[in-house]
Structure 1
Amino acid sequence: MELTAGISLTRLEIGLLERAKSRLGEAVLDPGQWSSLMEAICGAAATTGAALLQSDVRTPDVPMTPSVADLLRDYFDNNLHVGDIRAARGMPLILSGRSVVRDQDMFQSETVMLRDPLYATLTRFRFRWFSGISFQSGPAMWVMTLQRTIREGMFDDAELRALGSLSETLTEVATLSHAVGKQVLLGTLNAFELINEPAISVSSTGLVIGLNRAATDLFDADFRVRNSRLYMRDGKASQALERLLWERPRDSEIRLPSRGRVGNVIVAGRESKKPILIRVLPVHGAASTPFLGARAILVLRDLEAERRPPLEILSEVFSLTIAEARVASKIAAGSSPDEIADALHISRETVRNQIKAIFGKTGTHRQSELAALVARIQI
């Protein structure tokens, strides 16, 4: 069957598309909105699912609608992203000035199209027809992919023109998201600096996006940034971090699979010094925008350095017991209640009660407030 730009079985609704377009700015401060925003676009375009993919660096931690989650998991697990024929044939068209591409632009017939392994996978998930809306975030080219089922039919010319109107707005939103996210991430790294915690932000591919001065101060021949990536002489630690960053999270947390009880901590050994402990934290809020690419914040603890939390001072200043001061110090350093209970060999209920007492005595309500307060009396 020849692929032609005929009339599809379902039609795009302009009014609904304009409404969805007007809401795209919501994703600047809350990247978690992307899924629902794309669902609104899908509803307007009579399309089952959507996702955001970068043209040259495709990673599994991208925003997507739940309807294509299983498809994209298979797409990445089977390395279909490496030789994606849509990217190979579609990007030259986009670079030539097209704001939207579709199957008919890349294949002469449906028979030829279905011979490609990607389309065989799509068929298994009852998908077939595609259109991609191009947009930019700085020098990076992105595509919002819209995926229709076999029954929904291919995208026609009128629908393509309507979808093209999203390209400019998506570029504006992506550009602003990158700028806002970068400032928020910088503020987070500076907050760790205030409590003398070395911290590095990295992408899912291990690219270093930002770091604070405390992190730079502990670099040596075994642990440093090289070619914009974190280099560790300890190969096992490097592999553990790489696996953790690449794995697409099912929620907002990052968890390190382990038989032991180290939680989300990687131990990076060094040749002639004590190890560095790397605590892996998720990126939240505007800093988690896909256009910045920050996947995690690595909080570093150099076991070679002497760190003596001023427990007596904390106790005296805020009228805390020594036990409460010990918990307060760990909260300020970013430890979770469960981690504190494990580290101090006390029950979780005891930790929760002590945290309530600490917040009451210090007049704080959140971990970030307590961290900033403790930072002011560090000596």
Structure 2
Amino acid sequence: MIDLKAMALVAKSLDAAVEEARWEQVADLLCDALDLRSCSFMSIKPDLTPAGFLASSEILRINGNKLFARTMQGDYRDDLDLIAGSLKLPPHVLLRERDFHGVGQADPLPPSSLRDFMRNEFGIYERDTIKLSEFGPAADLVVLHTSADKPTLMDGDRDAIRLLAPILAQSIRMKRIFEALKQRFNSALGALDRLGIGSLLVDGKGDIISINSCAQRILESKDGLYKNPRGQLACNDEACDRDLRQGCLAAFETAKGDGLHAQTVLAVKRRSGEPDYLLTISPVADPLAEIEPGFRSTLVFVVDPSDDARLSVEGVQHLGQLTRAEVSVLKLMVSGASTREISDLRDVSEETVRRQIKSILAKLNYRNRADVIRLAVATRLPLDAPEDAEGMDRHLISEI
């Protein structure tokens, strides 16, 4: 197998852990790397019935509904002994159809209506199987289909699939973890969405696992933040992008217990000239192992200060016991107004505004305006939370 093809396959399989649609690309790359006619990733229950298909390569996808229908209807009974043999083997051991039946290369294989159908419909000659992993009530398999031009796998191909099998198995395992993670956090992210807070669940590389519609709109505007071709959260500014990646990795390592970095706060400049996006990157731990023992992730909040309809100063006013003049300044601060603009709007000197801002920061024990805006968002949540936010994890709110 060509090394570059192997590297591309490994990279794509790791990406597919986050985005299920990429498994079709993994199947295509596997066929290209091993010179296969086709391949299919599937799960089998202990009673030898299919538990589902993850992905198939291009030839099967073109008219694969026929194969899927026949399989789900039970048109595989001639192959039950072969399937049982695959499940009995330990993970990552290749089972060749001919070896299992003890049939030489020049001899005919035992009758199989499903194999005959696949040969006539798709040009598939033989089927080799390798068990990737076992999870709960089923086992994951990848079935490798050869063609008449190359009816059997070469020794190098067999070695390659044995090396690739643990990586493919790990990617499928991570896919299931991410699915569970999405289910756990989607309701919380949805509640934050209604409150105008962009929220993303990412891994240590910044790969987006889950995202609410508010964050999706922000990324689609590409006004400072966007989703890159690898499916990762990214900044238009190179230096900011570097800080973002370091923050995601630091939070991820902290959540795993390998670091001591609780939170990263970033201001992301926007091409439009609107006030900077304010990002908070925090670790998300799973101490009760509700998802997977030892698994952790990263939560990113995005606040858009220009969306002042989502901000309130009432909570900040009560917390800081601000004066009436300070509240007036605070309202303009969270709307993104500069010191000069506040001075003009309030008809006072810039020095007066600076003193008032300094007093506000001192009363709140904060260092800059960005912290105040985050507080305005955080203190709004308990005041106006919608009904569907009642059950959300309150630690999400406290992390903003």
Asked if Structure 1 and Structure 2 have the same fold, meaning a TM-score greater than 0.5 normalized by the shorter chain, the answer is: no
Quickly name the TM-score band, shorter chain normalised: 0.3 to 0.5
Structure with higher RCO (Cα < 8 A, 6+ apart):
1
Give the structure with the higher percent helix: 2
TM-score (normalizing by structure 2): 0.42
Larger CA Rg, structure 1 vs 2: 2
Normalised TM-score (structure 1): 0.44
